[in-house]
Chains A and B, each alone.
Chain A
């Protein structure tokens, strides 16, 4: 079975542009979370979605938005990019309905903002 898949793996944008990152969870997993990992730091929680509904949101500005589709895949959108948005964006899926914290992470999308 495939793990969590993310695309693109790498991308470069300039300040002010927007970006869309995509994620497909492990087959059978209905919950998807997004995390931002800046170089040298641990991941920071951005969003959690379950059954297409937002179930949790971290301390990120409104420039960050996400959605989950009927097939449980998800998109993370970031508008008006800033240099500080440069990071590895990780998607994770969760087995079951409870929030156990037992996340399965993808390899991430590395975003560089110039």
Chain B
């Protein structure tokens, strides 16, 4: 089945630093999404990307849909304490049916004071 390789597994950064994480796949997707999950909560959608090469921003977050349709990255600029959490990439390939999302294993972001 489809698998997403998400890296890094965890990041320890200082407040104010920029963050970069990425996701690669052996299969193509026609939608890439980035979610954030806080403890005790369900994932929350941050950014959705629908076209190869697309670059989309949401405040301090920027994500890109790789041109090969097999990868995506998420950047966070000027990190703040509330950015702490687990970030998941997710891919969707709608091959005519209603397939579910394939999620990566997550990047755990920890901000040191």
Contact = CB atoms under 8 A, between A and B. Distances in A.
A78 interface: no
Contacts of A59: 1
A56 B99 CA distance: 5
Nearest to B108: A40
Interface residues of A, number: 29
B31 A50 contact: no
A85 interface: no
B100 interface: yes
Contacts of B44: 105
Contacts of B102: 45
Contacts of B98: 31, 48, 50, 55-56, 99
A42 B31 contact: no
Interface string A81-114: 0000000001010000001111111111000000
Interface stretch (B13-21, B67-75, B87-95): B87-95
B72 to A, nearest CB: 12
User: Which 5 pairs from chain A and chain B are nearest by CB?
Assistant: A45-B100, A105-B42, A42-B103, A55-B98, A56-B98
Interface of B: 1, 4, 6, 31, 33, 40-45, 48, 88, 90, 92, 94, 97-106
8 contacts: A35-B101, A42-B105, A56-B100, A99-B98, A101-B48, A101-B92, A105-B44, A106-B42
